[in-house]
Structure 1
């Protein structure tokens, strides 16, 4: 595996990304998704987790370099900022595209969760309201999973 790929994996915050993705897949199986539905949920959540982890490392790159963080792939040169920016964009665009297979309401929930988490990364991380994106994003997760079920009722507008 190339250094760049390993850098992207490390920059994704792999442990929490894997944990959230597995929990979402288990929830999808638990509420009755088919195998294809579980895969769709897992891929959508994984794309969201990748976008959030990568954007976090991208946003914090200058600060991480200034304080000498040697555990961050951008500061060690394992992955370049432009590469990380492109990966972040691809993952972020993939979220609503994948989620649309579960319907527009599911896609809206998945997108809301992603946008909320990205807002945590910038500009809310160091503010008193930094807890709000967690509440919104983790609240949107089960809503996305349920709304992505075939035949799931769409809430009234």
Structure 2
């Protein structure tokens, strides 16, 4: 068995959900070290800025000392290879995720053949959760406390209250 294997779990994490946290927990059990790589997200309009997302992810990952949180911009390949990553963790919630993730894994294998993509599924109670759903439900006044940690819930409440405040 390989020693000191570093895995990278990339994402936008806007916001981090309990499903993401479940994937981090599972990855931390499998790999010696895990970097949760928070994407700058230039391709997406995010509710939270990069610094806010990093802070939320760091707090969520606090229970696992072998997990680090870093930001990245640009090609994931450059980040993974630059850190010496040997595995890239991707979460799969449902069959609808698989087609995209399978194509992405194929492209990543072409770009970095020395890095394996590992698919992890969250626990049953988290399989339907997505950051997009969480943001939408919260913005419409719905309850999301079953989908995110209390810290993230507070940050969502604060952010959405600011958005509703007339300028």
TM-score with structure 2 setting the length:
0.24
Q: Which has the higher helix share?
A: 1
Q: Which has the higher strand share?
A: 2
TM-score with structure 1 setting the length:
0.25
